[in-house]
Amino acid sequence: MPSSHRPSKTPPTLAGVTLLDRDHSILAFNERVLDWAHRKDVPLLERLRYLCIVSSNLDEFFEVRVEPHLAATLRKDEKGLYSVQSFRRLAELAHILVSQQYVLYNSELMPALEQQGIKIVSHGERTEAQRRWVKDYFEREVRPLLIPVGLDPSHPFPEVANKSLNFIVRLGGNDAFGRANEIAIVKVPRVLPRMIRMPEKVSGQANYFVSLSSVIRGHLADLFPGRDVGQFSQFRVTRHSDLAVDEEDVKNLRTALRQGLQHRHFGEAVRLEVSAGCSSHLSNFLLKQFELPEEALYRVQGPVNLVRLTQLIDLVQAPDLCFPSYKSCYPTQLTAGASFFERLKLGDVLIHQPFESFGGVLAFLREAVHDPQVLAIKQTIYRTGHDTELMDLLREAVRRGKEVTVVVELKARFDEETNINWAEMLESIGAQVLYGVVGLKTHAKMMLITRREGKQLKRYAHLSTGNYNPSTARLYTDWSHLTADPALTTDVENVFVHLASHSRLPKLNRVLLAPFYLHAKLVERIHALGLAAAAGRSTRIVAKMNALTDEKLIHALIHAGKRGVKIDLIVRGACILPAQVPGLTDNIRVRSVIGRFLEHSRVFYFRCDAVEELFLSSADWMNRNMMRRVELEWPVTDPVQRQRIIDEDLVAYLHDGVDAWDLLPDGSYARVKRISRRTPHSAQAALMVRYGGHDEAGSD
């Protein structure tokens, strides 16, 4: 299912190369994710899950990326980076993607699920017994929570929260006061489940469900006694939700963010979803209320929020329709029960997640918490989720009298409230809680343990390409690096001191830190290889990341490629550098791998003749990561460890013949073609086998 996302506005041009549109590239990424929902070799419920993932991704896309395009449209801007044309082209592509979702949902996934005895039963399909049960459920569980609002001068259009389910109804006749106010709104509380399983007494042995929207739709007339219910539709509005806080102008960032969170659900509307059969009268009424143009209207043949179908996946007990459960092995370079501190004295340890368990990282922290010789623990928190195990360990460390310092990033998008709550909890028990540097997000992932050993204090560190989140660690590919290397641990200590005191950063031994040196050093490294290639030397760059949008780095890559450097980029998501453009980027190949697990690791490899350098990083090659975040990049110097990363995270992905897509010169992506009769290779599947995962409950 190749995509073609050619920008309509005039994009930047670097070294004669017209760059691709970033927002279109994000939509193209979601097309590649949607392809998993089309694949017949994927278990049926997992195909549905990928459909839901695309909807969740699109929600965030609209919440974060669309507002400047829409604002330009409302201002009628005809030129510039954001314009009427940029919005229309973006909306056109989004409409195509949404249409593909619902066609797949209705024509393939739902019929296939019904063949497996799994069905969402509509009002018109219900038997008399099922209708009685639904009626009882509505009266008992739903109706007491609904307050239909008839619109009139004293009841204006209500505030509708971001992504909430609502109904609009056109009424006939007069109300109790003899007035002919015809429009009413029914807001559906979020506490109600969106998928309800029918009991066996009315469904038999099948997995039959009803959607909440169908339950309400079938009983709208009961909410308006004495009125004629005519036209109606479910609807959902998506709002701009990127919090903007002027850090220079607030006294307490935590308080300002908490106040901002109260308004996030009611930002500017950017998208309106309605049922496919919604009348023009009602859809135009809603567009006018939300001050949206026609292009922002999405008519859908099904539920307006496909994300909520994940509830159905969770309710159905059908292991044969899901991926075989994968159990991560304990990190191969560690011995369960043995001391981490003794092991790290012998050399560094790498953990390749989720093929190896994040439980190894938790075990490292657990040993530090319970070791009386450990005096201090320092850690950054970006996204930990709601899982309490890690936080419980930090809390226990405080209770045991250790010095605990936590750098909490309050501005981690959509995790702000969770992080504020963790910060307040840790602060309340005596931990030192810091919020990083004003104007920058602390995106670096690092932990530092200080331990008394004899008359000396020795440091041990954990650095990672991913977050300290036990849940996503089961789903995201990342590298964890445990080390007692004095050069690295001293650097980590200096970074923590810098974040706490804002003092001048000393010269670091191994670590490169954004926003100070990382960007410039990357450009310098690429430039040096370009000069070496021009001099006839053998050169190579392989970089794996989540996104490539920084123009200076792209400029450096284009020039290096023109000089003869062979460049392979493994970019999961947005990439604005067109590959294989004749005469311009012939030496640059870009591929994206979309697999069972979310590719998240950042690995950068540079070679000149026989000299190899390899770096792990928390940073993607985006301007925001280089200039507006605190990020780390650090080298892997041990030849054996370095080769392991090359083999598992670079070579394996460059030879993936199952889950990989190649970026074409026009900005479209094409599935890799099978080039031999041999069974095609999937990097993730091979790694699952290598690390011994098998059908077993759990993943840690």
Q: What is the DSSP string of 212-249?
A: HHHHHHTTHHHHSTTSEEEEEEEEEEEE-------GGG
Residue 31: pLDDT over 50: yes
User: Which token pair is 456?
Assistant: 């000396």
- Backbone φ and ψ for 631, nearest 5 degrees, come out as -130, 155
Residue labelled with tokens 């994710």: 33
Across the beta sheet with 207-211, what order do the strands follow?
118-120, 207-211, 195-197
**Whole-model pTM?**
0.91
In this prediction, residues 549-576 reach a mean pLDDT of 97
Pick the CATH number of 340-505 from 3.40.50.300, 2.60.40.420, 2.60.210.10, 3.30.870.10: 3.30.870.10
> Under CATH, domain 13-321 is a member of which superfamily?
Polyphosphate kinase middle domain (3.30.1840.10)
d(CA 11, CA 489): 43
Domain ranges of the chain: 13-321, 340-505, 514-690
- Are 186 and 215 contacting, i.e. CB atoms less than 8 angstroms apart? no
Across 419-442, average pLDDT: 79
Which has more confidence, 6 or 19? 19
With 80 as the cut, is the pLDDT of residue 503 above it? yes
Structure tokens belonging to residue 296 = 């922002």
Annotated catalytic residue, options 69, 219, 443, 498? 443
Is residue 659 within 8 Å of 42, Cβ to Cβ? no
In angstroms, what CA-CA distances link 357 with 290, 327, 414, 448? 47, 8, 26, 20
Q: What is the mean pLDDT of residues 417-421?
A: 72
Pick from 620, 625, 627: nearest CA to 602? 620
Query: Residues 568-617: pLDDT tens digits?
Result: 999 999 999 999 999 999 999 999 999 999 999 999 999 999 999 999 99
- With 80 as the cut, is the pLDDT of residue 274 above it? yes
Q: How buried is residue 454: exposed, middle or buried, by Cβ count under 10 Å (0-12/13-18/19+)?
A: exposed
Q: Could you tell me which residues are beta bridge partners of residue 39? A: none
pLDDT bucket at 155, cuts 50 / 70 / 90: confident
> Burial code of 664-696, b = ≥16 C-beta within 10 A, e = fewer?
beebbbeebeeeeeeebebbbbbbbeebebeee
Whether pLDDT at 277 is above 50 = yes
Burial 620-639 (b: 16+ CB within 10 A, else e): bbbebbbeebbbbbbbbeee
For strands 441-442 and 629-635, give the pairing.
Answer: parallel
Residue 169: pLDDT above 60?
yes
**pLDDT class of 14 with cuts at 50, 70, 90:** confident
Q: How does residue 694 score in pLDDT terms, banded at 50, 70 and 90?
A: very low
Domain 514-690 has CATH 3.90.1150.10: no
Q: Which two structure tokens, joined as six digits, stand for 317?
A: 């007990």
252 pLDDT higher than 90:
no
Structure tokens at 260: 């901002």
> Which residues lie across from 127 on neighbouring strands?
none
In 609-699, where do the E strands start and end?
A: 611-617, 629-635, 660-663, 669-671
The per-residue pLDDT for 545 is 98
Q: Centre a 10 Å sphere on the Cβ of residue 500 and count the other Cβ atoms it contains.
A: 14
pLDDT band for position 135 (50/70/90)?
Answer: very high
Per-residue HEC secondary structure of 273-325 comes to EEECCCCHHHHHHHHHHHCCCHHHEEEECCCCCHHHHHHHHHHCCCHHHCCCC
For the cut 60, the answer to whether the pLDDT of residue 172 exceeds it is yes
At how many degrees (to 10) do helices 44-65 and 22-38 cross? 170
- pLDDT bucket at 205, cuts 50 / 70 / 90: confident
The mean pLDDT value for 473-502 works out to 95
Spatial distance between the Cα atoms of 364 and 345, rounded to a whole number of angstroms = 14
Q: Which amino acid is at 81?
A: L
3-state helix, strand, coil in the chain (%, to 5): 40, 25, 35
Q: For the chain, give the percent of residues with pLDDT over 90.
A: 74
- Tokens read off for 464: 């990672």
Average pLDDT over residues 183-211: 92
Q: For residues 508-514, give the mean pLDDT.
A: 95
| Cβ-contact 688, 326 below 8 angstroms | yes
Residue 387 clears pLDDT 80, i.e. is over it: no
- Listing DSSP states for 496-540 in one string gives HHHHHH-PPPPPPSS-EEETTTHHHHHHHHHHHHHHHHHTT--EE
Please tell me the predicted confidence (pLDDT) of residue 308.
Answer: 92
- Pairing relationship of beta strands 195-197 and 207-211 according to DSSP bridges: antiparallel
Residue matched to tokens 């030397």: 537
* Contact (Cβ atoms closer than 8 angstroms) between residue 359 and residue 474: no
pLDDT greater than 60 at residue 254: no
Question: In terms of Cα–Cα distance, which of 51, 163, 193 is closest to 110?
Answer: 51
Query: Average pLDDT of the chain?
Result: 90
Torsion, CA 222, CA 223, CA 226, CA 232, rounded to 10: -100
Amino acid identity, position 416:
E
Cα(544)–Cα(465) distance, integer angstroms:
11
Specify the 3-state DSSP secondary structure of 196. strand
As a whole number of angstroms, the distance between CA 500 and CA 255 comes to: 20
User: 461-486, pLDDT tens digit by residue?
Assistant: 999 999 888 888 999 999 999 999 99
Residue 246, pLDDT score? 45
Distances in whole angstroms, Cα of residue 311 to Cα of each of 197, 201, 270: 10, 22, 26
Where does residue 40 rank: exposed (0-12), middle (13-18), buried (19+ CB within 10 A)? exposed
Residue with tokens 């329709």: 321
Is the confidence at residue 292, as pLDDT, over 70? yes
CA 440-441-444 angle, 5° bins: 120
Rounded (10°) angle between helices 416-428 and 253-264: 140
In this prediction, residues 240-251 reach a mean pLDDT of 56
Work out the average pLDDT over 513-523. 95
Taken as a whole, the chain contains a residue count of 700
Answer yes or no: 352 catalytic.
no
Of residues 530 and 412, the one with the higher pLDDT is 530
- Whether cis (ω within 30° of 0) applies to the bond prior to 158 is no
Q: How far is CA 147 from the centre of its chain?
A: 35
Token pair for residue 500?
Answer: 């706490």
Instruction: Indicate whether 296 pLDDT > 90.
Output: yes
Does 340-505 match 13-321 at the fold level? no
pLDDT-derived band of residue 418, with 50, 70 and 90 as boundaries?
Answer: confident
Sort 504 into a burial class: Cβ within 10 Å, 0-12 / 13-18 / 19+. Answer: exposed
Whether the CB-CB separation of 357 and 388 falls below 8 Å is answered with: no
Least-confidence region, from 120-129, 383-392, 528-537: 383-392
Q: How far apart are CA 606 and CA 312, in angstroms?
A: 46
Neighbouring C-beta atoms of residue 641, cutoff 10 Å: 17
What is the C-alpha separation between 429 and 449, in angstroms, rounded? 20
User: Over the Cα atoms of the chain, what is R_g?
Assistant: 27
Q: Which pLDDT value is given to residue 434? A: 84
What mean pLDDT do residues 361-380 have?
96
Please report the pLDDT score of residue 7 as a whole number.
38
Tens digits of residue pLDDT in 51-109? 999 999 999 999 999 999 998 988 888 877 888 999 999 999 999 999 999 999 999 99
pLDDT of residue 178: 67
